[in-house]
Amino acid sequence: MNGIESRRKAVRKALKTKGIDAFFVGSLRNIRYLTGFTGSSAFVLLTRERGLFFTDFRYQEQAAEEVGHYEIEIERGKRIDVLRTLAKKLGIQRLGFETSLSFEFYSALKRLPVDLVPVRDLVEDLRKRKDDQEIGTIRTAAERAERAFLSIKPRIRVGAREREIALRLEEQLKKEGCRTIPFDIIIASGRNAAMPHAKPTDKKIEKGDFVIIDWGGEAEGYYSDMTRTLLMAGDSLSEKIRIYAIVNEAREKALRAVKTGAKTRDVDRAAREVIRGAGYGEYFGHGTGHGVGLEVHETPRVSWVRSEGITPGMVFTIEPGIYLPGLGGVRIEDMVAVRKDTAELLTSLGRDLEIIGS
Amino acid sequence: MNGIESRRKAVRKALKTKGIDAFFVGSLRNIRYLTGFTGSSAFVLLTRERGLFFTDFRYQEQAAEEVGHYEIEIERGKRIDVLRTLAKKLGIQRLGFETSLSFEFYSALKRLPVDLVPVRDLVEDLRKRKDDQEIGTIRTAAERAERAFLSIKPRIRVGAREREIALRLEEQLKKEGCRTIPFDIIIASGRNAAMPHAKPTDKKIEKGDFVIIDWGGEAEGYYSDMTRTLLMAGDSLSEKIRIYAIVNEAREKALRAVKTGAKTRDVDRAAREVIRGAGYGEYFGHGTGHGVGLEVHETPRVSWVRSEGITPGMVFTIEPGIYLPGLGGVRIEDMVAVRKDTAELLTSLGRDLEIIGS
């Protein structure tokens, strides 16, 4: 049984448990996961027996190529009218819907002669448990990202502009085969590195700057996400070297906390305790990590806000950081895949401090 | 009064009319429009007197730079808890929310001790009426796109691969100053051009191929979107030349139908009648156009499904097409800005059939 079939089977089983006749899926990521479709307009209706896939005319040929295991139909007219007709034809009494659906479409659904059942994270929870093939694809996305970085790394030197480096890195990611870029690349140097989500500017890299590089790759719709921080040679580097060592230790401790049966909050705490203990707690304002897959930010969150059990197949980032206004910042981000007995690193570039131009 | 101030004033006026004490804005595009913030985590709470802007720690510095006219606060803990505290502190009784909000967050809002008021398209309707500055920015986005295209156009020739052309065009868009690319560029040749949303493949362009190029630019967060179709020299081009002429006439007729006071459906009909009249009606399966601004697809839709009055400040595409399985397809897409008495073209590249290599 291939991935698509087993995913559909898992959804069906859940429908039965919840006493739902049909499940309306509108999230494009979930549709991609359930059907293989990569276009931008579709919905899926899964009943206990049938799998109906609807897309509009523009994607007719693409759907025929990509979508197996589903009855492919072309969506004509308003979606709510298509659903009304289907509900009648298929005798749907209890209709499940994703809670990520907009209030607006929910309001339209309420007017159908069916009982509505909110379904939270059914497909998202399946997506959290990646199979070997998915983990392999994410590894490919990470390898592409690392090769692209290594090829442009010599450009990261005093005098180079952040934006130019970002452009080159993006170009190289495409050359490596990434069809899309998961998020705008961050190249943040000097004071800019104090902003965890800085956009590349025309600023030139200067002596003594930290340079944060946060980028990701793609393979078959799956993403990777990683960060390295380089230090430019210069004067008075001692605090910077110290901060780097603290973040790197936090990363190491968090990684060691990743294991089946532990909690995501434990991983966050492991990183946070190192940084707090060194007196920089208030300068690490974001969570320690997040799930990565068909979305570059997906469940689980690895933070103090929510916690959940770590299970095999989860893929997430470990990315502690310290950001000091005026001085700059450090973030080191790796990706791990949780296996039954181990945590497998999907990123391989070194994490030791590199001082460029020394 | 600058754009941000007048937008906030317009929202306030609507709140008063609707008897709403405060309006919760979660859509990032709407937040950008109302505040200038370009990051990816924020919400806005507009009361009749105050404008509160919340973002998380990562965007603290960025918000300070980008967001004027609002009280900037850092969001700590769960959003729903922050809102509960605010509702109490500000004495909010009737809370408006965008209908694009997820069912999930709506369910959380329902537990607050306030009356909820769904607000549909309030900010979206403001966004539809672009001011001169916005139209100028969109024009810049279109100019960048056109310059990028002209610089890579010599690469579009027999033997070139679709994907390579797409890569070069994207690179050139970035060089022109586009920080993001509004959508994956379409380079579709030969049979691939029969798919309105084809992704670039490793296919080489062949003699007699139609090549559809659908791409867009960006400037300050505003997008442009256009399409040209080139024909490669070859044998038996007569049907292709005929189809091109039909689509081009449809485009011309639709453009002439754009005027203040007309309906969007009239514009769609003008294009559709030409294509139907020529016997290709069933091969033009998509709408004639869509609004473009902070999103590359926004209201108004220009199609047969919905209709609305055309008003000054609207910016939308005109993009009829004919797609023949096996043979290929043609789409020609321009952008217009509606002015009080005229329709101003924002795209300027020629639309006459170009036969490459003849």
* Closest residue in A to B191 (Cα–Cα): A61
**Domain tally, chain A:** 2
Cβ B20 vs Cβ B118: under 8 Å: no
Give me the mean pLDDT over the A237-255 stretch.
Answer: 97
What is the per-residue pLDDT across B127-147, written as a single tens digit (0 to 9) for each? Answer: 999 999 999 999 999 999 999
Q: Does B39 touch chain A (CB under 8 A)?
A: yes
A184 with A325, same domain: the answer is yes
Round to whole Å and give the CA distance between B284 and A56.
12
pLDDT at B72 over 80: yes
* pLDDT of B358 strictly over 80: no
> 320-339 in B: which are within 8 Å (CB) of A?
325
B227-245 mean pLDDT: 96
pLDDT of residue B82: 96
> Do both A90 and A186 map to the same domain?
no
Provide the pLDDT for residue A177. Answer: 93
Q: Are residues A230 and A323 in the same domain?
A: yes
Span B282-333, pLDDT tens digits: 999 899 999 999 999 999 999 998 899 999 999 999 999 999 988 999 999 9
End residue of a domain, out of A127, A146, A177: A127
Q: Residue A123: which of A19, A47, A53, A27 has the closest Cα?
A: A27
Question: Which residues of A fall within a CB distance of 8 Å from B60?
Answer: 195, 285
Test mutation, A61, A62, A78, chain B, max B CBs within 10 A: A61
Q: Quick one: three-class SS letters along A262-310?
A: CEHHHHHHHHHHHHHHCCCHHHCCCCCEEECCCCCCEEEEECCCCCCEC
Chain B residues whose beta carbon lies within 8 Å of the beta carbon of residue A197: 39-40, 58-59, 62
- Split at pLDDT 50, 70, 90, the class of A198 is confident
Is A107's Cβ below 8 Å from some Cβ in B? yes
For chain B, how are helix, strand and coil distributed in percent, rounded to 5? 40, 25, 35
Residues B329 and B181 in one domain: yes
The backbone torsions φ and ψ at residue A326, rounded to the nearest 5 degrees and listed phi first, read 90, -40
What digits encode the pLDDT tens for the residues B337-347? 999 999 999 99
Tell me how close the Cα of B198 comes to any Cα of chain A, in angstroms.
8
Contacts of B102 in chain A (CB under 8 A): 99-103
Task: Collect all residues of chain A within an 8 Å Cβ-Cβ radius of residue B99.
Answer: 102-104, 107
Is the pLDDT reported for residue A245 higher than 80?
yes
Q: What pLDDT, in 10s, does the model give residues B176-199?
A: 999 889 999 999 999 999 988 888
A218 has a chain B CB within 8 A of its CB: no
Q: Inspect the interface and report whether the beta carbons of A167 and B171 lie closer than 8 Å.
A: yes
- Note whether A110 contacts B: Cβ–Cβ < 8 A: no
Range of the domain at B65: 3-128
The closest of A63, A59, A123, A177 to A295, measured between CA atoms, is A123
Residues 270-289 of B with CB under 8 A from A: 285-286
DSSP annotation of B282 reads: G
Structural domain ending residue among the three candidates B128, B163, B192 = B128
Q: Is the pLDDT of residue A353 over 80?
A: yes
- Report d(CA A312, CA A128) in Å as an integer: 9
Instruction: Please indicate, yes or no, whether residues A178 and A281 belong to a single structural domain of this protein.
Output: yes
CB B247 within 8 A of CB B210: no
Question: Lowest-pLDDT range, B75-79, B106-110, B254-258, B315-319?
Answer: B75-79
Q: Does residue B43 sit in the same domain as residue B143?
A: no
Among A98, A104, A120, select the one facing B120 at the smallest CB separation. A104
Q: What is the reported pLDDT for A58? A: 82
The chain-wide mean pLDDT, for chain A, equals 95
Considering the domain architecture, whether residues A82 and A164 belong to the same structural domain is answered as no
Same-domain status, B288 and B246: yes
* A window 62-81, beta carbon within 8 A of B: 62, 77-78
pLDDT > 70? residue A1: no
| B286–A62 CB contact, under 8 Å | no
Torsion sign over Cα B18, B23, B25, B29: positive
Query: Residue range A97-105: average pLDDT?
Result: 97
CA distance A219 to chain B (A): 15
Give the DSSP per-residue string, B68-130.
Answer: -SSEEEE--S-HHHHHHHHHHHHT--EEEEETTSBHHHHHHHTTSSSEEEEE-SHHHHHHHS-
Residues A119 and A204 in one domain: no
State whether B77 and B141 are in the same domain: no
Residue type for position A15: L
Judged against a pLDDT cut of 80, whether residue B1 lies above it is answered with no
- B285 closest CB neighbour out of A40, A58, A171: A58
pLDDT attached to residue B196: 85
Cβ contacts below 8 Å, chain A against chain B, sum to: 103
Task: Nearest by CB to A61, from B40, B195, B286: name it.
Answer: B195
Over residues A290-344, the pLDDT tens digits come to 999 999 999 999 999 889 999 999 999 999 999 998 899 999 999 999 999 999 9
Give the torsion through C-alpha atoms of B67, B70, B71, B73, to 10 deg: -50
Q: Cβ distance A287 to A302 under 8 Å?
A: yes
Q: For residue range A6-29, what is the model confidence (pLDDT) as tens digits?
A: 999 999 999 999 999 999 999 999
pLDDT tens track for A141-187: 999 999 999 999 999 999 999 999 999 999 999 999 998 899 999 99
Average the pLDDT over A233-239 and give the result.
93
Domain with B347 in it: what CATH number? 3.90.230.10
Q: Where are the beta strands (DSSP E) in B210-311?
A: 210-215, 218-219, 222-223, 226-232, 289-291, 298-302
Interface pTM (ipTM) of the complex? Answer: 0.82
CATH of the domain at A9: 3.40.350.10
Name the closest residue on chain B to residue A297, using Cα atoms: B40
In this complex, the residue of A100, A101, A197 whose CB is nearest that of residue B59 is: A197
d(CA B195, nearest CA chain A) in Å: 6
- Percentage of residues of chain B with pLDDT beyond 70: 99
Task: Tell me what pLDDT residue B156 has.
Answer: 98
- Are the Cβ atoms of B106 and A104 closer than 8 angstroms? no
Confidence of residue A264 (pLDDT cuts 50, 70, 90): very high
- Across chain B, mean pLDDT equals 95
Q: Which residues of A touch B120 (CB under 8 A)?
A: 104
Range B111-116 average pLDDT: 97
Residues 155-174 of B with CB under 8 A from A: 167, 170-171, 174
pLDDT number for residue B267: 98
Do residues B113 and B235 share a domain? no
pLDDT at A3 over 90: no
One domain for residues B139 and B49 = no
Domain boundary pick from A89, A108, A127: A127
